[in-house]
Amino acid sequence: MARQLQIAGLKVLVVEKHEPASEASAAAGGMIAHCDPHVSQSLKPLIAASAEMYPEFVRRLEGESGEFADLCDAGTIAWFDDNETPGCATARRLDDTELSRMEPMLRLREGAWFLPERSVDPRGLGRALTKAAKRGGADFVTGSPATEVLTADGCAAGVSTSHATYSGGLVVNCAGAWAGQIHPIEIPTRPVKGQMVCLVPQNVVPQSHVAHAAPLIEHVVRTPAVYIIPRSDGRVLLGATIEEAGFDKRVDPEAIQKLYQAGIDAAPALSSMRIHDAWAGLRPGSPDNLPILGETSLPGYYAATGHYRDGILLAPITAHLMTQFITGCKTDFDLRPFSPLRFGDNEESGTG
Ligand SMILES: Cc1cc2nc3c(=O)[nH]c(=O)nc-3n(C[C@H](O)[C@H](O)[C@H](O)COP(=O)(O)OP(=O)(O)OC[C@H]3O[C@@H](n4cnc5c(N)ncnc54)[C@H](O)[C@@H]3O)c2cc1C
């Protein structure tokens, strides 16, 4: 969003608690899962538009930054519950012959769908976004959390951290699962923990897995038990748990073992790979699990959070719509279903 606001002519300061794109965005699988049956009706148009924007979004950011975001468009092979159908018209059923040709290593057969989806490496994308914003002139202050939005004449006028205050004509809260911790407006996000595992080929040392091992799996694979995301350098990610565990980001060996086993059950050949890494991240959930996009009850103070399981997918459209909204342009889609105000008056009692 910083980059998009800059392109619209705004001077941007990013106040970041740690390092940019190091939390949920670094933990994500990076599926651009716009065909998922679970997408809520009101979010469908944004999801479809965002998926459509992805190739150009990545191409531009890679060009601006020199970073590689590993956008893959091999598609997804998915199994859903009996009562579920994909949320995109171009999905199609796969018969056994076609499935064996496309992905010979899969054990699951009956009932497969092919979904014309993409995937991206969220860490590469995060580096690209950060570098593009820096090269475009955005300033970053990292290492301490914003604690409060400052006000002047009843409008947002900047933020303070424990070390300093920064003034600004408007403030956008993009603090993910932590968005609700910044005073004085309560933005009701909650952390939803997700754990993931990364596998690498046995004969590849971590530092050189860019050495391109032949991929065992070429498509993203989603079963009700696990999703499998191949990267172009031979790594394979298995994900992910969905846990209401507060702000606990510890990796649980039992959960990792379960994911690993579910991956092997779906594609036994994955047992030839070894676990290289495992991590947990906190998705920003909201009370209705829809994003929170728009102006809060404090004029000039905006929220862009609550993207829950689809924040990577929704990144381009969020940046685009929020920039339109903030700069006073008509937005391409109605943002009212996502307004922070839908949760009632969100100003904390007792604060000005
Ligand atoms: C395991 C897992 C798998 C996922 N897989 C996918 C997927 O395949 N596809 C998909 O679309 N989405 C996926 N997601 C969801 C996606 O990662 C999130 O929706 C998205 O990354 C949220 O982005 P964000 O920028 O709002 O939050 P974050 O990436 O968490 O960024 C919030 C930032 O705010 C900073 N911050 C927090 N508090 C403060 C403060 N007080 N002051 C200053 N800075 C602060 C943090 O340090 C962080 O950098 C997944 C998530 C997880 C955990």
Please determine, for residue 213, whether its predicted confidence score (pLDDT) is greater than 80: no
Q: Which atom from ligand 1 is nearest to the alpha carbon of 196?
A: 1
Q: Give 3-state DSSP helix, strand, coil % of the chain, rounded to 5.
A: 30, 25, 45
CB of 71 within 6 A of ligand 1: the answer is: no
CA distance 259 to 66: 34
Any atom of ligand 1 within 6 Å of the Cβ of 29 = yes
User: Could you tell me whether strands 301-305 and 171-173 are parallel, antiparallel, or unpaired per DSSP bridges?
Assistant: parallel
Architecture of domain 1-73+120-187+286-352: 3-Layer(bba) Sandwich (3.50)
Give, for ligand 1, the residue of 4, 17, 289 to mutate: max count of ligand atoms closer than 8 Å to Cβ.
17
Please name the residue whose Cα sits nearest to atom 37 of ligand 1: 175
Atom of ligand 1 nearest to the CA of 310: 11
Identify the pLDDT of residue 352.
Answer: 35
Query: Residue 203 CB: number of other CB atoms within 10 A?
Result: 9
Instruction: Say what the pTM is.
Output: 0.96
Reported confidence tier of residue 348, pLDDT bands at 50, 70, 90 = low
Which residues, other chains included, contact 59 with Cβ-Cβ below 8 Å and sequence gap of 6+? none
Q: How confident is the model at residue 205 (pLDDT cuts 50, 70, 90)?
A: low
| Angle between helical axes of 44-65 and 315-326 (0-180°, round to 10) | 90
Domain residue ranges of the chain, discontinuous segments joined by +: 1-73+120-187+286-352, 76-116+190-285
> pLDDT tens, 103-129?
999 998 899 999 999 999 999 999 999
Q: How many CB atoms lie within 10 A of CB 122?
A: 24
160 near 55, Cβ under 8 Å? no
Mapping DSSP to helix (H, G, I), strand (E, B) and coil, where does residue 118 land? Answer: strand
Sign of torsion over alpha carbons 213, 217, 221, 225: negative
Q: Ligand 1 centroid vs 102 CA: distance in angstroms?
A: 32
* Residue located nearest, by CA, to atom 36 of ligand 1: 175
Ligand 1 center to residue 260 CA distance, Å? 23
CATH number of 76-116+190-285: 3.30.9.10
Per-residue CA distances from 321 to 21, 58, 173 (Å) = 20, 17, 15
Tell me the per-residue pLDDT of 242-297, one tens digit each, with 9 for 90 and over.
999 999 999 999 999 999 999 999 999 999 999 999 999 999 999 999 999 999 99
Distance 13 CA to ligand 1 centre (A): 19
